[in-house]
Amino acid sequence: MLDFRKIIRDSAKTKLSMLDTCIDDIVRASEIMLESIRNGNKILWCGNGGSAADAQHMAAELMGGLRSHKRKPIASIALTTDTSFITAWANDTNYDHIFSRQIEGLGSSGDILIAISTSGNSKNVLKALETAKEAGIQSIILTGGSQGKMKNKGDVLISVPSDDTQRIQECHLLIEHILCENIEQNI
On whether residue 86 sits in a domain, the answer given is yes
On whether residue 37 sits in a domain, the answer given is yes
The CATH number for 83's domain is 3.40.50.10490
Rounded Cα–Cα distance for residues 163 and 53 (Å): 20
Rg (CA), the chain: 16
Range of the domain at 115: 18-164
> Where would I find the H helices in 22-164?
23-38, 50-64, 83-92, 98-106, 123-134
How many distinct structural domains can be found in the chain? 1
Q: Summarize pLDDT for 31-58 with one digit per residue, the tens.
A: 999 999 999 999 999 999 999 999 999 9
Interhelix angle 23-38/4-21, nearest 10 degrees:
70
- Burial letters 124-144, b for 16+ CB under 10 A, else e: bbbbbbebbeebebbbbbbbb
Residue 163: how many other CB atoms lie within 10 Å: 12
pTM here is: 0.96
pLDDT band at 30 (very low <50, low <70, confident <90, very high): very high
